[in-house]
Structure 1
Amino acid sequence: MTDLLSKFDPLIAERQALLDTGVRDPFSIVMDEVKSPTLAVIKGKETILLGTYNYMGMTFDPDVIQAGKDALDNFGSGTTGSRVLNGTYQGHKECEEALKAFYGTEHAMVFSTGYQANLGMMSTLAGKGEYIILDADSHASIYDGCALGNAEIVRFRHNSVEDLDKRLGRLPAEAGKLVVLEGVYSMVGDIAPLKEMVAVAKKHGAMILCDEAHGMGFFGANGRGVFEEAGVEKDVDFVVGTFSKSVGTVGGFCVSNHPKFEVLRLVCRPYVFTASLPPSVVATAAASIRKLMHAGAKRQHLWENSRRLHGGLRALGFTLGTETPQSAIIAVMLPDQEQAVGMWAALLELGLYVNMARPPATPAGTFLLRCSLCAEHSAEQVEQILGMFAAAGRAVGVIPPAV
C-alpha cells in the first residue's frame, strides 16, 4: 500500500532536525493565557504580543465583549445551518448593515472566514472563458479560490503597474476580466500602487477586486483601507476583507455597489455550503465595526508605533522588508532559516512573540520575522520591543555588538 503522506517526508525530516537542536517549534506556540491585545502568558512567562494582526486592539473592547455575551444568551451557541437555509439570524443582517455603513456600499455579504470570502469570490466571479489577473504575491486564499474556479489565471510581477498593463493588453478585448489586488501585502507589509493599477485595469475594461484584510481599520479617512486612501473607491467593484485582523474576531466579507451583487448568495459555493458564523461572533464583529468608524485616535497612535519601530530597527542595523513604514506590518529580513529561528527563539526567551515566516509562505530563499503592531501597544512597550530586538540580534549575530 502506498503511504499517501510519504510525499511530506522531506518536510517531516526538516522539522525534526530543527526540533533536535532544542529550539521550540515556531509553529506550535500555545497561548496559556491572554491578558490583553498586547500581552499573553506563554510557557509561564508574560510575553508581549507582536505577531497577532490585532491591529486595532478590539479583542478586549468591553462593548465588543458584551455584545458577544448578550448574543450568546439570546441566540445560543451556533446556527447549525447555512446562510441560505436556517443560518441567517438577526445578528448576521445587523453585521452586514454595519459593514454597509462602514464602507458606504449598497451590499455586504458575510462569510464564515476571510479565507472563504476569497475562496468564494475568486471561484464565482470569473468562469470558463474569463480571466483572473492577479499579483504574483497574492495570498494563498486568492490562489486557492482561483484553483476552485474555471477561469484562466494570469499572474503579473508583484506591484508592477507596467507588467499588469502588458499582460492585460495580451488578453482578448471581449473576454470578462477580474483584476485582483491587495491593499497591504501581508508578508513584508508593502502596499499596492492602487491608483495606478486601477487606472490600468479600467483602461482594459476589467473589473477590480481589492482585498483589504490588512488595510481595514487604519488606512484612509474612514479606515476603509488602502483603496480609500488612494481615492479609488468609486472604481473598485468588490472589496473583500476579514474580521480576524482589525475587527478582532473571525469571519470574512465582501462589499460592493454592483446592482446584481445579491445573486452571489445563490451561486457562491463557499457561502452556500458551509455553516454560518455563531450569533456571538457576528455580534462582536458588528459592535467592533461600528466602533472602528470612530477610531481616528487609535489609527493615529498605530501609525506612530509603526514609524517608531521601523526607524528604531533600522537604526539598530536590521534589514527590513520596506524602506519606509508602509503599514502596521514590519518584516525583519534574515539570510537563512538558522538565523531566523535563532532570532525568533531568542526574542521569545526575552518575552516577545513575533511570527516567523519561511517558504512556502514566502518566496524561495526568503526568511523573515513579521511584526504586527497594535494600536494598544504603548510607547513604552515599543521601546521595550526595540530593546529586546537589540539584545536578541546581538546574541545571534544578526547585528553587530554594541560599541
Structure 2
Amino acid sequence: MSEGIGQPDKPAELTGNTPDLFSKFDPLIQQRADLLAAGVEDPFNLVMERVLSPTRAICNGRDTILLGTYNYMGMTFDPDVIEAGKQALDDYGSGTTGSRVLNGTYQGHRECEEALKEFYGMEHAMVFSTGYQANLGIISTIAGKGDYVVLDIDSHASIWDGCALGNAEIVPFKHNDIEAMDKRLGRIPEGAGKLVVLEGVYSMLGDIAPLREMIAVAKKHGAMVLVDEAHSMGFIGPNGRGVAEEQGVLDDVDFVIGTFSKSVGTVGGFCVSNHPKFEIMRLVCRPYVFTASLPPSVVATAATSIRKLMATGHNKRAHLWENSKRLHKGLTDLGFELGTSEPQSAIVAVIMPDLERGAAMWEALLKEGLYVNLARPPATPANMTLLRCSLCAEHSEEEVGTILGMFERAGKAVEII
C-alpha cells in the first residue's frame, strides 16, 4: 500500500462502465472545436509576447492596442510602483512560503493594509492573495449554515462560490431590482442572520447598482451589507472609493471587497470594514488562514499604487471618464448595440448577435491590432455574447479615435453593422 490511507499501489483499470467525469463538458468541448474548425483563432488563449505599456502589447507579432485588461488607472508601468517592487524583491526575497497566521506576514503586508485603511477611511483592512479569495473567504465565514445571503442574480462567480462554501441559504433576486430584493428579504424568517451582497459595477455590461436605495432596504430588514467594488475602486467616486462613495452611502456598508488586479495594477484582494469584531476574521477565515500570503514585491507595488491613487488619481479619473464617454458615443453612432444606454463605468460592452459572429468580430479586431474580451454564456447575463471593452486612463484621445476606426472596419467586414 502507498502512504495514502486505503490507496492501492496501482490505479484500478478503467472499464467500459467507468463514468467519464469529463462528459459534463462535452457541449463546451464541441462548441470550442467548432469555432476552431471554422478557422477562428482561440479567443481564450491569446498570448502577449511582450507588454509595451498599459495600453499596448505585441500579440501574434503585431503591435496591439489593449482594450480588455481592466488596467483602469494604468498603474502597471508606473515608475514608483515598479521601483517599490524591485526594492522589496531585493530586501525580502521572492516569496513568503507561508500563511499570514504563521510566517507569512511581512512588514509590507501591514503597510499595504495601512494604505487601504487610509484610502477608505476605515478601521480594518485584510489582504488576501486574490480578489476571488477575498469574496470566497469573507462571505463563507460570516454567512454560514442557517444564515441567508441575498444577492443579485448577476453576481460574480466568486460571490456565488463564497455562498456555497459557507453553506448559507442563497436567495437571488433580479438584477438591480430594488422591489424584488425587498420582497426576498421580507420572506426570510425572523431572527435569521442576513447578508446582502451587491456589486458597485457589474463587470459584464459595465452597469452600476442603485446602492443608495438597495442599502436602505437592506438596513430596513436588519441585514448586513457587503459591496464588491472591484470594478469601481480607483475610478468612481470623489476619492476613487467606488460607487458607494459616489452615491453617499459608504458609511452604511459593513464590508467592502476589492482587488489589486484592476485599478491598482498588480494582484491580490482585500476587505475593509469598520465592524468592531472584524479582526477575528484573521483566525476563522479559511481562504486567508490556509493559503500562502502574497510575495513581498506584490504588496509593495500594491501599497505604492494605492497611495499614488490617493495623491494623484483625480486627473487620471477625469481623463478616463472622457475616454469612456467618447468610446460609448462613438460605438453607438456607428450602429453597435451596447450593454448600457449611457456610459456608467470604464467598461463598454458591445452586444453580438451570437457566439459565432462574436468570435469572428473578435478575430477581425485582433487582425486590426485591437484586443478586447470575448465573453460568452454562461458567464454573461441573458445568454448574451459580448465584446467587452475596458478603458484605461493611459489611453490617449488619438488611441480612442483609432479604436473606433477599427471597430467600424471590423464591424462592416463581419456584417455586424
TM-score bucket (shorter structure): over 0.9
- Cα distance per residue 1:150-177 (max 9 Å; x no partner): 2111001100011011111111231110
Amino acid at match of 2:190: A
Corresponding residue SS for 1:102:
helix
- Displacement of 1:363 in angstroms is 3.0
How far the C-alpha of 1:339 sits from its partner, in A, is 1.3
Residues 109, 254 of structure 1: 8 Å contact kept: yes
Cα drift, residue 364 of structure 1: 4.7
AA aligned to 1:322 is T
CA distance in 2, matches of 1:103, 1:303: 21
| 1:358–1:366 contact (8 Å) kept in structure 2 | yes
Q: Which residue of 2 aligns with 1:329?
A: 347
Q: Deviations over 1:161-212 (max 9, x none)?
A: 1101111111123111000000000000000000000000011010000000
Alignment equivalent of 1:92, drawn from 89, 100, 109: 109
Give 1:21's aligned residue: 38
How far apart, in 2, do the equivalents of 1:243 and 1:365 lie?
Answer: 29
- Which residue of structure 2 lines up, in the alignment, with residue 283 of structure 1? 300
Identity of aligned residues (%): 76
Q: Which residue of 2 aligns with 1:240?
A: 257
Confirm whether residue 256 of structure 1 aligns to residue 273 of structure 2.
yes
Q: Is 2:244 the partner of 1:195?
A: no
* More displaced 10-residue stretch of structure 1: 129-138 or 361-370: 361-370
Partners in 1 of 2:261 and 2:303 — Cα distance?
13
Cα distance in 1 for residues equivalent to 2:215 and 2:397:
37
Q: CA deviation at 1:9?
A: 1.8
Counting matched residue pairs gives 399
Q: In structure 1, what is the equivalent of residue 383 of structure 2?
A: 365
Is structure 2 residue 156 aligned with structure 1 residue 143? no
Aligned counterpart in structure 1 of residue 408 of structure 2, from 380, 390, 403? 390
1:208 to 205, 221, 225: 225
Structure 1 consecutive aligned stretches of length 4 or more whose deviation exceeds 3 Å: none
* Partner residue in 1 for 2:57: 40
Q: What are the Cα deviations for residues 76-125 of structure 1, in whole angstroms up to 9, with x where unaligned?
A: 00000000000000000000000000000000000000000000011001
Counterpart Cα distance in 1 of 2:361 and 2:353:
12
Query: In structure 1, which of residues 96, 107, 110 is the aligned counterpart of residue 124 of structure 2?
Result: 107
> Does structure 2 retain, via aligned residues, the 8 Å contact 1:239–1:256?
yes
Offset of 1:139 from its aligned partner?
0.1
CA distance in 1, matches of 2:221, 2:80: 46
Instruction: Encode CA deviations 1:132-152: one digit per residue, 9 max, x unaligned.
Output: 100000000000111101211
SS at match of 2:48: coil
SS at match of 1:51: coil
Q: Deviations over 1:303-337 (max 9, x none)?
A: 00000000000000000000000000000001111
Matches within 5 A, 1:164-183: 164-183=181-200
CA distance in 2, matches of 1:5, 1:43: 31
User: Separation in 1 of the partners of 2:137 and 2:331?
Assistant: 39
> 2:65, 2:19 → 1: CA distance?
45
Conservation of the 8 A alpha-carbon contact between 1:51 and 1:371: yes
Residue 186 (structure 1) aligns with: 203
What is the CA–CA distance in structure 2 between the aligned matches of 1:293 and 1:163, rounded to whole Å? 37
Distance 1:266 1:251 in 2: 19
Preserved CA contact (<8 Å) 1:336 1:365: no
Specify the SS of the correspondent of 2:251.
Answer: coil
1:340 match:
358
CA distance in 1, matches of 2:174, 2:319: 33
Structure 2 counterpart SS, 1:330: strand
1:46-94 deviation digits (Å, cap 9, x = unpaired) = 0000000000000000000000000000000000000000000000000
Q: Secondary structure at the match of 2:26?
A: helix
- Give the Å deviation of 1:396: 0.6
2:244 equivalent among 227, 232, 236: 227
Between 332-341 and 242-251, report the one with greater CA deviation: 332-341
SS in 2 for 1:258: coil
AA in 2 matched with 1:357: A
User: Distance between the aligned counterparts of 2:25 and 2:218, measured in 1?
Assistant: 40
Q: Secondary structure at the match of 1:275?
A: coil
Unaligned runs of 5+ in 1: none
More moved, 8-17 vs 36-45: 8-17
Q: 1:253 to 1:176 in 2, by over 3 A?
A: same
| Counterpart residue identity of residue 131, structure 2 | G
Structure 2: gaps of 5 or more residues:
1-17
Letter in 2 for 1:366: M
Determine the C-alpha separation between the residues in 1 that align with 2:215 and 2:348: 26
